[in-house]
Amino acid sequence: MKISFAELSAPKAGTIVVGVGEDRALTPIAAALDKEAGGALVRAMASSRFAGKKGQLLAVLAPANLTVGGIVLAGLGKLADVDALTLQALGGSLVAHLNGAGESEATVRLGALEGKLSPAEAAANLAFGARLRTYRFDKYRTRMKAEQKPTLKKLAVQSDAATAAKKVFADLDRLADGIFFTRDLVSEPGNILYPESLADQAMTLAELGVEVEALDEKKMKKLGMGALLGVGQGSVRPPRLVVMAWLGADDKKAAPIAFVGKGITFDTGGISLKPGAGMEEMKWDMGGSGTVIGLMKALAGRKAKVNVIGVVALAENMPDGNAIRPGDILTSMSGQTIEVNNTDAEGRLVLADALWYTQDRFKPRLMVNLATLTGAILVALGSEYAGLFSNNDELAERLTAAGRAVGEHLWRMPLNDAFDRAIDSDVADMKNISGDRNAGSSIGGVFLQRFVNGVPWAHLDIAGMAWSKKDAPTVPKGATGYGVRLLERFVADHYED
């Protein structure tokens, strides 16, 4: 779908979209169109449930005196409250609606809004939401019928600030590139995406000026990464640790901020095998690393003025004659030993070495890791919030605020000494699970905390967020790309020159 920006003018063809506020309050542009259409818009509203509420859409047949194909009224809610998220959601819902109706061309006519947004920001955010909803993962569908394919080819967004809108959109477009890259990676099945091929995907960021380096087993062995290597040893696909560096700050030597991702390209559970039903979902157990890679793409794409390190720990967790066994003891890069009482608690093992390595080599100002770490976070927070665990209140607050601003919500969960004591082991420095199922997500959190060496750190448990079973306005079902928007905002708000 091609997105363009133009000044306000009457379109000759396609569908026209105009905004309506709460209680059917026509925006000036909608009022002018209604007049031209002999009151057809007001009559159509009167005979429907459409009330101009946020998210409501009403399709109206164009009256005979207009050349356009159709008119869509878009509910904006209280006009004074229209914000970026409202317009993103509208853009996304419109794309779904117009594709559902088989339209090929549409023009959104956005006048000046009463809210806090400039006309340029309004137009750009609508376009951003529209693009996010166009995402599809169709590459393996070779027999798609015409009616299964999207029809919308052109979306024009009119405002009285087209040039400025295009400029604002340019950065959002790079952000969408990053989100789409994440969605692509997370969608790929385990036979296509495994540690080496995922590392190859990360390497493509070199085109944008990201320095990318992949550590193989030999290098990891030398560094003593026994925890990460232990998880990977049951697979014929060797593990990798990929380091990405985007040095965009004026001072290339300034301490970076670091993002670390869990990248289990398939999680069978290992010898502590998962039940068969639903196991196919574990192809997206690399969601944390997918987000880190997409985030690096978004930041490098818009040449963010910040030094950022991305580290992803890649392994496939398989049951095998060579796999780690329950009870095995691994020595991590930190020197701390880990009794592996459940091979299905593998994410924390690969992150233990990735976190230690990141702080040891890069001395970052802070680290944020992302991981589809626990089923328990789904029990607690469903698909509304990712779990946030942190040893630093300021960092936790900044992340929460960024999430609220972009509509990717976080809810802080506790780490405390009692949880930490629950993973003390009788035979090693710690064990990778506690004695019971209680507080499973916090147990994962305190385990990771033992590998951050006091650096300001946050762990985002995104097990409930990386994949969605239902369409949302800007997130079609499937891989969501959760976290890219949130962390891009977090960086933009606090860490750029």
Binding-site ranges for ligand BES (CB under 6 A): 267, 285, 342, 344-347, 372, 374-376, 433, 440, 463
Catalytic, 431? Answer no
Q: What is the rounded CA–CA span in Å between residue 492 and residue 209? A: 19
DSSP E strands in 257-306: the ranges are 257-267
Taking the CB of residue 250, how many other CB atoms lie within 10 A of it? 8
Q: Closest distance between ligand BES and the C-beta of residue 434, in Å?
A: 8
Contact present, 59 and 91 (Cβ < 8 Å): no
Q: Quick one: 267 or 461, whose CB is closer to Mn ion? A: 267
Q: For the segment 245-284, give every residue that binds Mn ion (CB under 5 A).
A: 267
Q: Closest distance between ligand BES and the C-beta of residue 351, in Å?
A: 11
Contact present, 356 and 334 (Cβ < 8 Å): yes
Q: Quick one: 188 or 267, whose CB is closer to Mn ion? A: 267
Q: Which helix (H) or strand (E) holds 287?
A: helix 287-301
Alpha helix segments (H runs only) across 386-470? 393-406, 417-421, 440-449
Which candidate in 109, 240, 283, 348 is catalytic?
Answer: 348
Closest to 347 in 3D by CA, of 238, 412, 443, 428: 443
Q: Quick one: 344 or 353, whose CB is closer to ligand BES? A: 344
Contact present, 483 and 386 (Cβ < 8 Å): yes
Q: Angle 204-209-211 (CA atoms, 0-180°, nearest 5)?
A: 75
- Is residue 347 within the footprint of Zn ion (CB under 5 A)? yes
Taking the CB of residue 368, how many other CB atoms lie within 10 A of it? 27
Q: Quick one: 95 or 443, whose CB is closer to ligand BES? A: 443
Q: Any idea which residue has 């990360």 for tokens?
A: 202
Q: Quick one: 444 or 473, whose CB is closer to Mn ion? A: 444
Q: Closest distance between ligand BES and the C-beta of residue 429, in Å?
A: 18
Q: For the segment 41-80, give every residue that binds Zn ion (CB under 5 A).
A: none
Catalytic, 166? Answer no
Q: What is the rounded CA–CA span in Å between residue 60 and residue 42? A: 10
What does 463 bind: Mn ion, ligand BES, Zn ion, none (CB cut-off 5 to 8 Å by kind)? ligand BES
What does 319 bind: Zn ion, Mn ion, ligand BES, none (CB cut-off 5 to 8 Å by kind)? none
- Is residue 316 within the footprint of Zn ion (CB under 5 A)? no
Q: Closest distance between Zn ion and the C-beta of residue 92, in Å?
A: 30
Kindly indicate which of the ranges 178-186, 224-232, 346-354, 452-460 contains the residues binding Mn ion, using the contact rule CB under 5 A: 346-354
Q: Closest distance between Mn ion and the C-beta of residue 374, in Å?
A: 9
Contact present, 152 and 103 (Cβ < 8 Å): yes
Kindly indicate which of the ranges 240-248, 264-272, 439-447, 454-462 contains the residues binding Zn ion, using the contact rule CB under 5 A: 264-272
**Phi then psi for 427, rounded to 5 degrees?**
-120, -10
Of 34, 344, 353, 488, which one interacts with Mn ion (CB under 5 A)?
Answer: 344
DSSP E strands in 78-175: the ranges are 105-109, 154-159
Contact present, 405 and 489 (Cβ < 8 Å): yes
Q: Quick one: 34 or 267, whose CB is closer to ligand BES? A: 267
Which candidate in 53, 274, 305, 404 is catalytic?
Answer: 274
Of 105, 177, 188, 285, which one interacts with Zn ion (CB under 5 A)?
Answer: 285
Active site residues: 274, 348
